[in-house]
Amino acid sequence: MTPLALEGVALIGPGFPDWAAARAVLAGEVPYAAAPAAVPVPLMLPPNERRRSGLAIKVALAAGAGALAACGRGAAGVATVFTSSSADGDTCHAICAQLAGSDRLISPTRFHNSVHNAPAGYWSIATRSMAPSTSVCAYDASFGAGLLEAAALARARSEAVLLIAYDAPYPEPLHAKRPLADAFGVGMVLAPARSAHSLAELTLELGTRTPSTFAELPLEKLRQGIPAARCLPLLGLVARGARGAAVLEFQEGLTLEATLTPCS
Amino acid sequence: MRPLQLTHTTLTSCLGRGLDANLAALRLRASGLAPCRFETAVLDTCVGEVAGVDEVRLAPALGAYDCRNNRLAALALAQDGYADAVRAAAARLGARRIGVFLGTSTSGILQTELAYRRRNAASGALPADFDYQHTHNTGSVSDFVRRSLGLAGPTWTVSTACSSSAKVFGTAARMIEAGLIDAAVVGGVDSLCLTTLYGFNSLELLSHGPCRPYDEARTGLSIGEGAAFALLEPRADQDAIALLGVGESSDAHHMSAPHPEGLGARMAIEAALAAAGLEAAQIDYINLHGTATPSNDAAEDKAVTGVFGTDTPCSSTKGATGHTLGAAGALEAVIAVLALRHGFMPGGANTQRLDPALRAHYLLETRAAPVRRVLSNSFGFGGTNCSLVLGRA
């Protein structure tokens, strides 16, 4: 499809307190050092909503706010695409555990937090943005799905779109069935054309080539261990700041071929 | 936007299997709602349950996907020659050139609810036969439908609560416009589960009797289940029924209550009209979101009358089908197709006395009349809004 401009990037994940730290690792300047993800409290939310938001919502909001800040954009009018394999797993567990017991009076807050688009709801309340927003899921292919949604949306609207890909682990017993390594959030602003904000020009095509992997085992483990971290080969291109291509893992029989040309 | 034809459609709800059964019931203002006997739920409410879902057997190769939601999807795909039509399109266009974008709110979470009752007493572990990926995960239904139809194009689920399967029409249109695919299977599938029954109960949003949209005595919604699918293709056949516009917005107001003035809803309606290049007066019938909660109908009425005035005929079909949540957008888009094809506007089932505070022209009786353009509204938790315009291209 026609090239897009990549603007701000933000990243929070295990061993990656922020994009600056991740960039240095992905550029090969410093080795990856594993550490639990440190997810900040979302100060953008009003106190009531802040209290009601769990890890998944926090990491999504931090990634989104970080990406906008990185390119100096306000949230107003910026359409959003949220993608996650499982959204708020703590809430899902709490509801299923309660429904299996004798008292099925689940809390109203739990229920509205259980929707897949809960982070999008909190985002729009926090930013007052009434722009369109969608929330998607494709299990391990969720990052690719969100990237395609965001790219097609930026093209259709001829305006910048904020992509937020995030995951947070389920507690047990669901964790044993769907083990996600840690919380991870990535935010990217995609614009329909190059501007002073642009980091790079990005071209995306569907293909069938073998996905790019990392030679460094801990990074490869991270890429495979969290669906949102399937973005890392693309961010590796951004970090190296040179023209290059990466094949992003997507769904059975399809990959996403990304070509990045830095804007000097 | 460039119109996209709905070349094949199908619809299964508590009113029946397939287009003809739903058409006949909608014309008669029949309701499929009945007192809730679902699973072990003990709730004083009515639901729109699809008969025979438990008896559906998935193809052996797709056995891992076995759950109520995917059984409902399989049941619906088998109606109206839909699956055969998609396979023919795949033979023509290539399996990789057809995307699959489906809406659901709860996917196969019932499977997890049931598995939690069978946790190991000592370890708390879920049973070995529980398959999270192919049942519970929000992406499961789209993957299941893609495989069922032998497709290989980009596939994902849109899950934005009760606007989910309206928004898939926008996703498909943008992906086709970007040249990444040539056609798309769109739709919605949502099935009864305890999370939504007890969840809406906790919010005190469930009606005891069958829900009564726009009624002065309305007290809440009735949950339904259903599945609807359309095949979207960029063709230009004369007089075919097409998607003409999609409009989306966010309320930025509250997680579970609509903007009291219907501001987000109004923005979505206006954006859909603008995308279709139409004036409000060119819409013949509006299929309302119309959940029958006091606040939804009041907010939606302000949005609708703010754009259309008080003359455009409208109704909610949720008195007939129940609120099918993540499937509602697609279900009601296919109802719009029926209205356009057969020249009728369904009168709202169950509604007895119109709320005098609501000003839109709500139809209590089915009206036979030529219908050229329909607007369909879908709104959801998190303040998500989506309106579709369908009509003769």
Assign domain A4-195 one CATH number from 3.40.50.970, 3.40.47.10, 3.40.50.1100, 3.90.1150.10. Answer: 3.40.47.10
Please name the member of A112, A117, A152 whose beta carbon is closest to the beta carbon of B178.
Answer: A152
- Write the ipTM: 0.98
Instruction: Yes or no: say if B280 and B308 are a contact pair by the CB < 8 Å rule.
Output: yes
Task: Write down the pLDDT at residue B113.
Answer: 98
Phi, then psi, of A39 in degrees rounded to 5? -100, 120
Q: E-assigned strands of chain B?
A: 4-13, 16-17, 34-35, 46-48, 98-103, 155-158, 183-190, 223-224, 226-233, 241-250, 285-287, 313-315, 344-345, 361-362, 367-368, 373-380, 384-392
Contact call for residues B33 and B226 (beta carbons, < 8 A): no
Residue B33 banded pLDDT, cuts 50, 70, 90? very high
d(CA B373, CA B45): 35
A252: closest chain B residue by CA: B152
For A151-160, what is the mean pLDDT?
97
Coil, strand, or helix at residue A260? strand
Task: Please answer yes or no on whether B250 and A130 come within 8 Å at the CB atom.
Answer: yes
Residue B355 predicted with pLDDT over 90: yes
Q: Which residues of chain A lie closer than 8 angstroms to B143, CB-CB? A: 138-139, 251
CA distance B103 to B161: 9
Q: Grade residue A197 by pLDDT with cuts at 50, 70 and 90.
A: confident
Query: Do B263 and A130 count as a contact with CB atoms less than 8 A apart?
Result: yes
Q: Which of B134, B289, B314, B386 is catalytic?
A: B289
- pTM listed for this prediction: 0.98
Chain A residue with minimal CA distance to B180? A1
Across A39-53, A92-106, A173-187, A215-229, least confident range: A39-53
Best B102, B147, B195, B267 residue to mutate vs chain A (most A CBs within 10 Å): B195
| Rounded alpha-carbon distances, angstroms, from residue B101 to A103, A264, B22, B183, B249 | 36, 37, 23, 11, 19
How far A247 CA sits from the closest chain B CA (Å)? 15
CA dist., res. A128 & res. A107, Å (int): 26
User: Which residues of chain A neighbour B1 with C-beta distances below 8 Å?
Assistant: 156
The per-residue pLDDT for A1 is 85
Per-residue pLDDT band for A173 (boundaries 50, 70, 90) equals: very high
pLDDT at A2 over 90: no
Sequence-separated (6 or more) residues with CB below 8 Å from residue B316: B213, B214, B287, B288, B289, B290, B291, B292, B297, B348
Query: Confidence class of residue B276 from pLDDT cuts 50, 70 and 90?
Result: very high
pLDDT of A77 strictly over 80: yes
At residue B393 the predicted structure's pLDDT band, cuts being 50, 70 and 90, is: confident
Listed by start position, the domains of chain A span 4-195
Give pLDDT, residue B259.
94
Chain-centroid distance, C-alpha B281: 25
Alpha-carbon separation of residue B201 from A175, B46, B114, B185, B221 (angstroms):
28, 12, 19, 33, 10
Give residue B88's pLDDT: 98
For the record, the structure tokens of B250 come out as 């966010």
pLDDT at A195: 87
- Give CA–CA dist B151/B86, Å, rounded: 9
Query: What pLDDT does B40 receive?
Result: 97
Comparing B239 with A239, the larger pLDDT belongs to A239
Q: What are phi and psi of B354, to 5 degrees?
A: -65, 140
Q: What is the mean pLDDT of chain A?
A: 96
Q: Which of B14, B67, B162, B386 is catalytic?
A: B162
pLDDT over 90 at B373, yes or no? yes
Reference A45, options A138, A145, A121; nearest CA is A121
Q: What pLDDT score does A49 carry?
A: 84
Tell me which residue has tokens 């959940």.
B291
B164-183 per-residue burial string, b: 16 or more CB within 10 A, e: under 16: bbbbbbbbbbbbbbbebbbb
Asked whether residue B13 carries a pLDDT value surpassing 80, the answer given is yes
Cα torsion for A106, B377, B391, B249, to the nearest 10°?
-110
Residue B356, sorted as left (phi over 0), alpha (psi -120 to 50) or beta, turns out to be alpha
Instruction: Kindly tell me if the per-residue pLDDT of B99 is higher than 90.
Output: yes
Mean pLDDT of chain B: 98
**Cβ atoms A123, A117 nearer than 8 A:** no
Rounded CA-CA distance B335/B102 in Å is: 17
Query: Is B254 a known active-site residue?
Result: no
Domains of chain B: 4-392 (3.40.47.10)
SS3 of residue B134 by DSSP:
helix
Residue from B43, B69, B109, B159 whose CB has the most chain A CBs within 10 Å, to mutate: B159
- Contacting A residues, span 80-119, partner chain B, CB-CB under 8 Å: 85-87, 92, 95-97, 99-100, 104-108, 111-118
CB contact under 8 A, A250 and B154: yes
Q: How many residues does chain A have?
A: 264
CB atoms A99 and B113 under 8 Å: yes
User: What's the confidence (pLDDT) of residue B203?
Assistant: 96
Answer whether residue B70 shows pLDDT above 90.
yes
CA distance A72 to A39: 22
Does position B233 have pLDDT exceeding 90, yes or no? yes
Q: A116–B156: do the CB atoms touch at under 8 Å? A: no
pLDDT over threshold 80, residue A264: no
For residue A201, give both structure tokens: 């020009």
Where in A60-174 does DSSP place strands (E)? 79-83, 133-137, 161-167
Q: Is A155 on the interface with B (CB under 8 A)?
A: yes
> Which residues in chain B have their CB less than 8 angstroms from residue A173's CB?
119, 123-126
* Contact assignment for B105 to A136 by CB distance below 8 Å: no
Residues B131, B126: Cα–Cα separation, whole Å? 10
Asked whether the beta carbons of residue B156 and residue A156 sit closer than 8 angstroms, the reply is no
Tell me which residue of B390, B275, B344 sits closest to B6, measured CA to CA.
B390
List, for residues B164-198, the tens digit of each pLDDT value.
Answer: 999 999 999 999 999 999 999 999 999 999 999 99
Return the DSSP state at B136: I
Is B203 in contact with A105 (Cβ distance < 8 A)?
no
